[in-house]
């Protein structure tokens, strides 16, 4: 397993904590998933009202790495401010950086994203940027100080899977030494397996588990899919080809007259 800012994870499954029917189901889903990272969204009001303390207690008891995010931020200033608040609340330098540019697709504003990443990296944050699958943007994020890239598979919460496999494969080829995470848009375990088969180091998802009819069962299914995809990628899979190739050789075959 590749390291993320010097931290080696037990597996490549990162799971979100929003939208679950209840805290109990959230806890069960995480325990069944074996996810190594929990993403959490900072709520500004919780610092004053002390709301959500039971939730934070559950997350701490899970014993997973916490990745706070700047979900819902639309400007550089808003994202940077939220990141600083998250560092104080959670005591971690990790931050999943989101700067949303389009409200319908929740596509990131890549110009603001790069600027916010530069500011946070210079301030000692270890930035996990939610970005598109554009290679030029990816390169600029790396030069801004990011050591991880998190391209989307599809719009957040859409469940469409890997919309542009060519772009994701190209990113893996262009940045072979950079930890890559497919973030957003996964709806089925098979899609997570496909991402891992492409050589990605992790997948991050939330809605597909939290909004399933059985979140606990779906969390378990995704865990198995991530494991299967990881094993497949490291097993050096065969290359696809246009022509058929017989599994039984012609040498030694009996010919009847």
| CATH code for position 210 | 3.20.20.70
Quote the pLDDT of residue 48: 43
Domain that holds residue 108: 13-235
pLDDT, position 255:
64
> What is the three-class DSSP state of 136?
helix
**pLDDT confidence of residue 42:** 78
Residue 243 located in a structural domain: no
Annotated catalytic residue 96: yes
Q: Is residue 4 part of a domain?
A: no
pLDDT score for 192: 98
Residue 29 CA to residue 195 CA, distance in Å, equals: 21
Residue set of the binding site: 157, 184-185, 206-207
Q: What is the pTM of this model?
A: 0.91
In a domain, 125, yes or no: yes
Q: What is the pLDDT along the chain (257 residues), one digit of tens a residue?
A: 689 999 999 999 999 999 999 999 999 999 999 999 999 987 543 444 444 567 778 888 888 999 999 999 999 999 999 999 999 988 999 999 999 999 999 999 999 999 999 999 999 999 999 999 999 999 999 999 999 999 999 999 999 999 999 999 999 999 999 999 999 999 999 999 999 999 999 999 999 999 999 999 999 999 999 999 999 999 998 888 888 888 877 666 666 66
In a domain, 137, yes or no: yes
What pLDDT was estimated at residue 257? 62
| Inside any domain, residue 189 | yes
Is residue 190 included in any domain, yes or no?
A: yes
Provide the annotated binding site for 1-deoxy-D-xylulose 5-phosphate.
Answer: 157, 184-185, 206-207
Q: Does residue 2 lie in a domain region?
A: no
DSSP assignment of 20-73 = -S-HHHHHHHHHHHT-SEEEEE--TTHHHH-TTHHHHHHHHHHTPEEEEE-TT-
pLDDT for position 250: 66
Q: Domains in the chain: how many in total?
A: 1
Domain contains 251: no
Beta carbons within 10 angstroms of residue 11's beta carbon? 16
- Calculate ∠ Cα 199-137-69, nearest 5°: 75
The residue annotated as part of the active site, out of 96, 140, 211, 224, is: 96
């Amino acid at each position: 397993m590749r390291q993320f800012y010097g931290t080696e994870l037990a597996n490549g499954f990162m799971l979100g904590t929003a939208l679950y029917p209840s805290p109990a189901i959230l806890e069960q889903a995480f325990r069944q998933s074996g996810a190594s990272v929990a993403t959490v969204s900072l709520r500004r009001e919780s610092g004053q009202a002390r709301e959500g303390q039971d939730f934070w207690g559950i997350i701490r008891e899970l014993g997973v790495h916490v990745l706070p995010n700047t979900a819902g931020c639309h400007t550089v200033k808003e994202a940077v401010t939220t990141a600083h608040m998250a560092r104080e609340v959670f005591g971690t330098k990790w931050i999943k950086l989101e700067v949303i540019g389009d409200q319908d697709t929740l596509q990131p504003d890549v110009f603001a994203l790069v600027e916010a990443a530069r500011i946070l990296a210079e301030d000692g944050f270890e930035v996990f940027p939610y970005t598109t699958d554009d290679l030029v943007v990816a390169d600029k994020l790396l030069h801004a100080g990011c050591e991880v890239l998190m391209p989307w598979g599809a719009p957040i919460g859409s469940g469409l899977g890997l919309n542009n496999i060519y772009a994701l494969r190209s990113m893996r080829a262009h940045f072979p030494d950079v930890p890559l995470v497919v973030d957003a848009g996964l709806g089925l375990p098979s899609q997570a397996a496909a991402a891992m088969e492409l050589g990605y180091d992790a997948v991050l998802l939330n809605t597909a588990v939290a909004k399933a009819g059985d979140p606990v069962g779906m969390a378990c299914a995704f865990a198995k899919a991530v494991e299967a995809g990881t094993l497949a990628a490291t097993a050096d899979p065969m290359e696809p080809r246009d022509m058929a190739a017989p599994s039984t050789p012609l040498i030694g075959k009996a010919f009847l007259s």
